[in-house]
A and B are shown apart, each in its own frame.
Chain A
Amino acid sequence: MKYLVILALFTCIGNSFAQQTPASKQTEAVTIVGATAHLGNGEVIENSLIIFEDGKITQVMDATATKMQYRGRIIEAEGKHVYPGFIAPNATLGLVEIDAVRATDDEDEIGSMLPHIRSLIAYNAESKIVESMRPNGVLMGQIVPRGGRISGTSSIVQFDAWNWEDAVIKEDDGLHINWPSSFTRGRWWAGEDPGIKVSDDYQDEILKLEEFFASAKAYLKGSKEKTNLAYDAMQNVFTGDKRVYVHVDGKKEILDVIEFKKDQKLEHLVIVGGYEAHKTIQDLKENNIPVLVQRPHDTPNSEDHDYDFPYKLAGILHNQGVLVALESSGSMERMNTRNLPFYAGTAGAYGLGKEEALKLITSNTAKILGIDNMLGTLEKGKTATLFISEGDALDMRGNILTHAFIQGRQVSLDTHQTELYERYMKKYDSASK
């Protein structure tokens, strides 16, 4: 009987996972004419001509200044706006479907040093949450495991795929470290004040991390007599092929991370979160460290802080020369990742302006993730992952997509949610007739 219930439940869930069918490979060239093209690098072409073929952009130019032959399918887009596909770094999309249902949760493995844990193979390309990104222009993401000191290895995927192998843009792109905190919570069960106090273990925890790096390095230099999966997964970190993302907020901690970068001779290290990064701007610049700033739609960490501090942090860093992009982790992060464009819009309102703000979810993100050779801007030779919006895509009122392309393939903008919308509107419409 119990099994029957489980089976029934399973079937029920199974049925409701009706994902949109991924689009097939681009076979015909597409020309978009007349739209305002926001290139993602700060430039705007008012009346643009964009052509892409075989998944690659072949032309981006001013339509008024050329007599170039349009190619293939022509999309008249006067009054509309074209953007490079938005990229959500440090996301957990496809790793959890419903927060409260533990059975659907695959984001946090047990253990502490887990470089060998790979998000990619758990990434659910058919997630209903993933498909809900597309209508907002969020077309790619970096899928990151959570938890542990080293939480694991991320991969970068695009959001229209049959499976994770199809989805992958860059496999095992980054190693994610949760930097120790100089604060700890009192153990109430041991009779301590449950408040947050200075941690005695901070240095110890850093030491453990350093030791892990040293041991991995030593192992990799040796004969590897016995395989150590965790150490093996560090190989690409030391070669520089796997970037290191350090999730850290405090000034002291950030300064310690910078030391760590130097000690470990890490070429690409990225600060994730970075609540107090604005206090270390000079050090970040000198050491060539970019920041994935936490989502602006958050409250300040202290009541003394400016009410708009989270809104303006990215702007402060960007305006002083730090390479910055926006990430969306935090409470209810998966469903809210579709609001990434509005996070950028907010940063735009608080110190950046629209085109600079756009960089924070396109070109800058691509640079930080190391995929800027193929993505992040509307430029000749880059992958044709882009979309057309009725208006300003960083504003809720304008972010209304008419077309979206991933690798030149026109992807569905329907979702589980639009289907329900249509179904019920139809019900009411027929009742009123």
Chain B
Amino acid sequence: MKLRLLLCLVFLVNLQSKAQEYFPKNDGVKNPQTNHTVFKNAKIHVSPQEIIESGSFVVKDGKISTIGKSVNEPANSIVIDLQGKEVYPSFIDLYSSFGIKEPKEVEGGNGQPQYEASREGYYWNDHIRPETEAVAAFNYDEKAATSLHKAGFSVVNTHVPDGIIRGTGMLVALNPDGTEGDRILKDRSAQYLSLDKSKLSRQSYPTSTMGAMALIRQTYLDAEWYGKGKSENKDLALEALNRNKNLTQIFATDNLLDALRAGKLGNEFSVDYVILGDGKEYQRLQEIKEIGSTFIVPLNFPDAYDVEDPFMAEHVTLEEMKTWNQAPANLKMLAENNIPFTITTHDLDVEKDFRNNLLKAVKYGLSKEDALAALTTTPAKILGEENRLGTLKEGAWANFIITSGDYFDKETSVYENWIQGKKAVITEMKTTDITGTYTLKVDGKDYELKITGKPEAPKASVKSGDTKLGAKLSFSNNWMNLLLSSADTTKTGFTRLVAKTDENTEDISGTAYLSDGSETSFSAVKNSSAEITETTEEEEENGEKDDDKEEEIREIMPVSFPNKAYGFSEMPKEETILFQNATVWTNEEEGIIENTDVLVKDGKISRIGENLKAGNARVIDATGKHLTSGIIDEHSHIAASAINEAGHNSTAEVSMEDVVDPTDMNIYRNLAGGVTTVQLLHGSANPIGGRSAILRLKWGENAEDLIFENSPKFIKFALGENVKQSNWGSRSRFPQTRMGVEQVFTDYFTRAREYEEARKNDKDFRKDLEMETLVEILNSERFVSAHSYIQSEINMLMKVAESFDFRINTFTHILEGYKVADKMKEHGAGGSTFSDWWAYKYEVNDAIPFNAPIMHSQGIVTAINSDDAEMSRRLNQEAAKSVKYGGVSEEDAWKFVTLNPAKLLHIDDRVGSIKTGKDADLVLWSDNPLSIYAKAEKTLIQGKVFFDIEKDKKLREEIQQQRSALITQMLQAKNKGLRTQPVTKKEEQNIHCNLLEEIH
């Protein structure tokens, strides 16, 4: 409100006072300009909603002084008649790095990571750079400006695109004749952020998306605290951040999940980010809408894949094909859902693709008004510049384009782009349209001359009877040069024709320079106008593609959830289901009971018994089949965009909940293996890792909805070879030995105790997210899952925990748990282990497949986990190995992957067994679930069927149909001569703790 008022005042002051010139001049006399420029008889698009069919406006001092149906023409006016032409406000790009040199990546370090900041007097992390100012790095870039002029842009909001908090951008008019003094509209126009690190520092932290998010949170907290004057040291970065607080905040992302994450951060701190998206917003419209942010959307539509070679085509995924197919409809869908957006030239070749793609978006249903608003009024409003930019009204900057007609008509030429009253010529406005068919007379011979194409870029073909001559036409400033090469096969003769066209006559006459050097006159008499759309043979010969090729509007594939193979077109609904006559593995006192019915209702297990009444339930005959509770994987790394924050040896401040990837195909594959819940753990790159996310594998839902409701809080710890970085190059990070590992824990927990104590007495205490998490652990409010292998370190961690009076909830991997099972039992720890993995590194040399059975025999709550996207879909088989190795009963072995992990995760009150009132997370198996021959036929989560082996068959057919339809579309696109991109192959990467190169 205050800002608006201030702007209003400035505006008024501007009207009343004359600007005073104060620069000395030494190269001549002063040259004051008081003339007016009057544009008249144009169709004026004042704003996206308001059009003056035939109107005029006056420009003075770079601004529009009057506008209307008719205006007073001051005597000292230059008048430009725009009869038949249209005028639009020119465009504004909110996300630009125009005029900013791309920061160069710093080198050094000899392969060793850098853990500390490079700068002093600033924040502890180099990637927080709010003090950066675009103004200091700005140089007007004429070449880039010319491209932007052609695309219709007059103003860009540019910034230094580097770092997580990037500092301030500036608003620049692309005035072709002005000075920086004219061009800079605002020197601190917005603050920019991203999740990507600065290239100007090698500081490791953060190495991950979740680290970047945690860093932003901590920085916000620190800035607030610093603002209270509590810091003893000077921090120029935090000061700048506080200074920038009231600016527009623009958050740059490069994928949809990150855009949603930015939205989440914004909501946490009540910052209304304007979010740069990646053009795939349509895939999650509901979530995008809920964020409530304005999106800056690029027009980076992917090219069709070159699928001519069927072998190569195999490697294009359905997701990639669908994205190609759907991307042009993105803006239409955003508009339909009333999601505010602006359009950016970011991530595309402005000159080549901007207008083409904008027109394509309109062709795919974006209204012209919405398109215009996204380029003019909406960005102006976000910048608080709606009175000066984006519309053609009195007092606004004279920033407009002049076109030959409707801007959104492909044939329309853009003539001029005026910025601050200065003109950039795009195409000559006075160009005579010479297209048509002529009878050409040269040197006594008659030819047929055909001129086609756009008036400013015509093309010619010449025939003598049926013989075609070589013809090359150039046409500028109404001078025509036509080069004819004769059809004579023995030697090529050239005839050059030169003429100045005259707008008063349709015929052309001029001078011909014959191949023998003589001059004569020629004439061309017009017979008819040419059909413009027809492509001449010459065009094809010259291989002139893309721009002129008309692409048919293709059928847009429906979005599925997720938008890839096996995605649901409709999300599963909660059902009332009666499983009849199943063998039910209850995991309760009842044990395994045969010929039993289970009724699922309202997402819960409603009744268990014999001959239950079906009522309105869907009845599933489970005769000969086995019904169990869903498999729970205590140790998983699926459904994640990042695994390790390796930048510090403790990263308790990061959370896997920030980086859930609901589109990971492994979710679906796990469902097909009967898995319903997983603990998504941080990796094992550091002793104190990140917080866990406990997920329900609700394929198709969004990241937030995958998170188990009221999840108990967990964190990953790690011990041994990975945290001491034994198996790769780094030698500089503490700890490098198991001795050091103990000290890391002791140190951090000591600090956490002190922190907790200090927090009690100081209301302005600096909130530290890492310490807050550690305090939760000390107070047994957050549970530890500790990656561990050998007995010494297992013992050590229990002793450390005991000395701080808390307990290790779970040892995960725990391959030597069998050696200290008695101690674990006494401590109260559970064990979640592999069935039979060993020998992949030195610390698993004594790992044995009898580990789970031994721990179980000593009364430890024992689970078998996967840590691997392949194994997790066969956890039933891994459990069965405990029957083979160690002779565990089938009933107990089954609990290793269901009830016991539920207990370890403290969710056994809701899942893990078949008991009335528990969540209906169920799996129907074709056979005894521990059998190698068992297949999961149906997997339910909270009463919704997320996997059904019959539906899977239909999905497979659908995938084939969609693939072949899209391949046909892409072949058509290629046939039309449209640009294509080569096929690249995707790698399926399985992430787990034990591949050395991945440190998980």
- A binding-site residues for B, Cβ under 8 Å: 16, 97-101, 128-129, 182-183, 193, 195-198, 250-252, 297-304, 306-308, 331-332, 334-336, 338-339, 342, 345-346, 348-349, 394-397, 399-400, 417-418, 420-421, 424-425, 428, 431
In the bound complex, what is the Cα–Cα distance between A33 and B877 (angstroms)?
31
A196 contact set on B, CB distance < 8 A: 984-987
Given A332-B837, A332-B840: A297 and B983 interface contact (C-beta under 8 Å)? no
In the bound complex, what is the Cα–Cα distance between A399 and B886 (angstroms)?
12
**Structural contact, A99 and B932, CB atoms closer than 8 A:** no
Q: Judge if B776 is at the interface, Cβ distance under 8 Å.
A: no
Partner of A335, one of B668, B840, B871, B877: B840
**Structural contact, A420 and B846, CB atoms closer than 8 A:** yes
Q: Judge if B721 is at the interface, Cβ distance under 8 Å.
A: yes
21 contacts between A and B (CB under 8 A): A16-B845, A99-B839, A99-B841, A100-B726, A100-B841, A183-B315, A195-B985, A197-B985, A252-B311, A299-B666, A299-B873, A303-B318, A307-B669, A331-B990, A332-B837, A336-B836, A396-B881, A417-B838, A418-B850, A421-B854, A431-B822
A195 contact set on B, CB distance < 8 A: 984-986
**Structural contact, A331 and B952, CB atoms closer than 8 A:** no
In the bound complex, what is the Cα–Cα distance between A395 and B883 (angstroms)?
11
Smallest CB-CB separation from B838: which chain A residue?
A335
Q: Judge if B85 is at the interface, Cβ distance under 8 Å.
A: no
**Structural contact, A182 and B311, CB atoms closer than 8 A:** yes
Smallest CB-CB separation from B890: which chain A residue?
A397
**Structural contact, B819 and A424, CB atoms closer than 8 A:** yes
A307 contact set on B, CB distance < 8 A: 668-669, 672, 873, 952
Closest 9 CB pairs of A and B: A345-B932, A100-B841, A396-B880, A303-B665, A196-B985, A421-B850, A417-B848, A349-B933, A304-B565
**Structural contact, B988 and A302, CB atoms closer than 8 A:** yes
Q: Mark B843-876, 1 if CB is under 8 A from A, else 0.
A: 0011011100010011000000000011101100
**Structural contact, B935 and A100, CB atoms closer than 8 A:** no
Given A198-B312, A424-B818: A397 and B988 interface contact (C-beta under 8 Å)? no
Partner of A299, one of B317, B564, B869: B869
Q: Judge if B319 is at the interface, Cβ distance under 8 Å.
A: yes
Q: Judge if B976 is at the interface, Cβ distance under 8 Å.
A: no
A399 contact set on B, CB distance < 8 A: 884
B959 contact set on A, CB distance < 8 A: 304
Given contacts A348-B932, A348-B933, A420-B848, 20 further A-B contacts (CB under 8 A): A100-B840, A101-B841, A101-B842, A183-B985, A196-B985, A299-B869, A302-B315, A303-B319, A303-B564, A304-B317, A307-B952, A335-B836, A335-B838, A395-B880, A396-B881, A397-B883, A421-B848, A421-B850, A424-B821, A428-B822
Partner of A346, one of B564, B838, B839, B932: B932
Q: How far is the CB of B429 from chain A (nearest CB, A)?
A: 43
Q: Judge if B74 is at the interface, Cβ distance under 8 Å.
A: no
In the bound complex, what is the Cα–Cα distance between A297 and B842 (angstroms)?
25
Q: Mark B652-675, 1 if CB is under 8 A from A, else 0.
A: 000000000000011011001000
Q: Judge if B727 is at the interface, Cβ distance under 8 Å.
A: yes
Q: How far is the CB of A32 from chain B (nearest CB, A)?
A: 21
**Structural contact, B982 and A417, CB atoms closer than 8 A:** no
Smallest CB-CB separation from B721: which chain A residue?
A100
Q: How far is the CB of A353 from chain B (nearest CB, A)?
A: 10
User: How many chain B residues touch A (Cβ–Cβ < 8 Å)?
Assistant: 70
Smallest CB-CB separation from B953: which chain A residue?
A306
**Structural contact, B839 and A334, CB atoms closer than 8 A:** yes
**Structural contact, B870 and A98, CB atoms closer than 8 A:** no
Given A98-B845, A302-B317, A307-B669: A417 and B850 interface contact (C-beta under 8 Å)? yes
In the bound complex, what is the Cα–Cα distance between A339 and B990 (angstroms)?
19
Given A16-B845, A98-B845: A302 and B850 interface contact (C-beta under 8 Å)? no
B822 contact set on A, CB distance < 8 A: 428, 431
Q: How far is the CB of A247 from chain B (nearest CB, A)?
A: 18
**Structural contact, A394 and B839, CB atoms closer than 8 A:** no
Smallest CB-CB separation from A428: which chain B residue?
B858
Partner of B854, one of A198, A303, A424: A424
Given A97-B839, A100-B727, A424-B854: A198 and B982 interface contact (C-beta under 8 Å)? yes
**Structural contact, B932 and A395, CB atoms closer than 8 A:** yes
Partner of B935, one of A101, A304, A349: A349
B727 contact set on A, CB distance < 8 A: 100
Q: Judge if B691 is at the interface, Cβ distance under 8 Å.
A: no
In the bound complex, what is the Cα–Cα distance between A335 and B930 (angstroms)?
21
A252 contact set on B, CB distance < 8 A: 311
Smallest CB-CB separation from B847: which chain A residue?
A417
**Structural contact, B984 and A428, CB atoms closer than 8 A:** no
Given A302-B317, A307-B952, A396-B932: A297 and B985 interface contact (C-beta under 8 Å)? no
Interface residues of B in 807-849 (CB under 8 A from A): 818-819, 821-822, 836-842, 845-846, 848-849
In the bound complex, what is the Cα–Cα distance between A250 and B985 (angstroms)?
12
**Structural contact, A303 and B311, CB atoms closer than 8 A:** no
Partner of A342, one of B837, B873, B932: B932
Smallest CB-CB separation from B882: which chain A residue?
A396
Smallest CB-CB separation from B994: which chain A residue?
A332
Smallest CB-CB separation from B565: which chain A residue?
A304
In the bound complex, what is the Cα–Cα distance between A339 and B317 (angstroms)?
32
In the bound complex, what is the Cα–Cα distance between A97 and B854 (angstroms)?
25
A349 contact set on B, CB distance < 8 A: 932-935
Smallest CB-CB separation from B934: which chain A residue?
A349
Partner of B880, one of A308, A334, A397, A417: A397
Smallest CB-CB separation from A335: which chain B residue?
B839
In the bound complex, what is the Cα–Cα distance between A360 and B984 (angstroms)?
34
Q: Judge if B637 is at the interface, Cβ distance under 8 Å.
A: no
In the bound complex, what is the Cα–Cα distance between A417 and B886 (angstroms)?
11
**Structural contact, B984 and A197, CB atoms closer than 8 A:** yes
In the bound complex, what is the Cα–Cα distance between A424 and B818 (angstroms)?
7
Q: How far is the CB of A170 from chain B (nearest CB, A)?
A: 26
Q: Judge if B968 is at the interface, Cβ distance under 8 Å.
A: no
In the bound complex, what is the Cα–Cα distance between A196 and B871 (angstroms)?
25
**Structural contact, A300 and B988, CB atoms closer than 8 A:** yes
**Structural contact, B963 and A304, CB atoms closer than 8 A:** yes
Q: Judge if B931 is at the interface, Cβ distance under 8 Å.
A: yes
Smallest CB-CB separation from A330: which chain B residue?
B870
In the bound complex, what is the Cα–Cα distance between A393 and B630 (angstroms)?
27
Smallest CB-CB separation from A299: which chain B residue?
B870
**Structural contact, B884 and A299, CB atoms closer than 8 A:** no
Smallest CB-CB separation from A183: which chain B residue?
B985
A193 contact set on B, CB distance < 8 A: 984
B566 contact set on A, CB distance < 8 A: 303
In the bound complex, what is the Cα–Cα distance between A63 and B869 (angstroms)?
47
B956 contact set on A, CB distance < 8 A: 306
In the bound complex, what is the Cα–Cα distance between A354 and B48 (angstroms)?
71
**Structural contact, B839 and A129, CB atoms closer than 8 A:** yes
Which of B564, B565, B819, B840 is most buried by chain A, counting CB atoms within 10 A of its CB? B840
Which of B566, B721, B839 is most buried by chain A, counting CB atoms within 10 A of its CB? B839
**Structural contact, A397 and B931, CB atoms closer than 8 A:** yes
In the bound complex, what is the Cα–Cα distance between A97 and B842 (angstroms)?
10
Q: Judge if B530 is at the interface, Cβ distance under 8 Å.
A: no
B854 contact set on A, CB distance < 8 A: 421, 424-425, 428
Given A98-B845, A251-B311, A331-B990: A394 and B932 interface contact (C-beta under 8 Å)? yes
Q: Judge if B996 is at the interface, Cβ distance under 8 Å.
A: yes
In the bound complex, what is the Cα–Cα distance between A193 and B987 (angstroms)?
14
Q: How far is the CB of B792 from chain A (nearest CB, A)?
A: 15
Smallest CB-CB separation from A332: which chain B residue?
B840
A348 contact set on B, CB distance < 8 A: 932-933
Q: Mark B967-987, 1 if CB is under 8 A from A, else 0.
A: 000000000000000111111
Q: Judge if B532 is at the interface, Cβ distance under 8 Å.
A: no
B137 contact set on A, CB distance < 8 A: none
Smallest CB-CB separation from B935: which chain A residue?
A349
Interface residues of B in 885-912 (CB under 8 A from A): 886, 890
Given A198-B983, A251-B311, A421-B886: A301 and B988 interface contact (C-beta under 8 Å)? yes
Given A99-B839, A331-B995, A428-B857: A297 and B982 interface contact (C-beta under 8 Å)? no
In the bound complex, what is the Cα–Cα distance between A196 and B988 (angstroms)?
12
